[in-house]
Amino acid sequence: MMTSSAVTSSSSIVSSTRKNDSPRAKKVNHNNNNNIGKRNLVISRGIFDDIKAQVQSLRPDAKSAGIYGSQGKDDYEDVDVEYYFNYMGLLAVEGTYDRMNALMETGIHPADAILLFASAEGDTPKCTELMEAGANPNAKGLDGVNAIDVAGENNAEKKEMVLEILQKKY
């Protein structure tokens, strides 16, 4: 038997419910003891949609919220190259930081270095972010290659999208 009690609220939209006391529910509770006696909050769909609309109106997209693409080229530092190198799992693939360190020793700007890695990996959101920040897709890395030369090298299905991003005027 399902029991429920209304939580005092001006809108009466929140209620708390107990787990079903049927034999099947007892079996589930027996196997999942951490849920016994816990209550779940139930919020009506209408209120959820209202809250979601209010949040979205405050921050219509990540860029305007200052989360995505808000950095300029000079906001990128050497440590950001290492963070990206680790984030993309390149250290696991390469086994060392040697290639990253050698690239940074050439004097390349950190944003351009990250663009080289992102381009090769087919990381289209990162390529867009960096291009909007002012990264140079023609900056030469190791072996004289640039982001356009290595586009999609490790993700062939993304090559055309990466090239389109790198050749777009921002």
Pair of tokens at residue 58: 């405050």
pTM, whole model, 2 decimals?
Answer: 0.60
Break the chain into its structural domains and give their ranges: 4-58, 73-167
Average pLDDT over residues 140-146: 94
Task: At 67, list the tokens.
Answer: 């989360």
Which residue type sits at 105?
A: E
62 — pLDDT class (breaks 50, 70, 90) = low
Residue of higher predicted confidence among 111 and 96: 111
- Tell me the pLDDT band of 92, cut-offs 50, 70 and 90: confident
Residue 52's pLDDT band, with cuts at 50, 70 and 90, is confident
Task: Using alpha carbons, list the distances in angstroms from residue 122 to 142, 148, 156, 161.
Answer: 18, 11, 8, 8
Amino acid residing at 59: R
Residue pair 138/146 in contact (Cβ under 8 Å)? The answer is yes
pLDDT above 80: residue 53: no
Count how many residues are written for the chain: 170
At 138 the three-state DSSP class reads coil
Contacts of 167 (CB under 8 A, 6+ apart): 137, 148
The interaxial angle of helices 110-121 and 124-133, nearest 10 deg, is: 150
> Do residues 127 and 66 touch, judged by C-beta distance below 8 A?
no
Tokens matching residue 24: 């099947």
CATH 1.25.40 assigned to domain 73-167? The reply is yes
DSSP for 11-33, written as a single string? S---EEEPPP-SHHHHHHHHH-G
Are 110 and 76 in contact by the 8 Å Cβ rule? The answer is yes
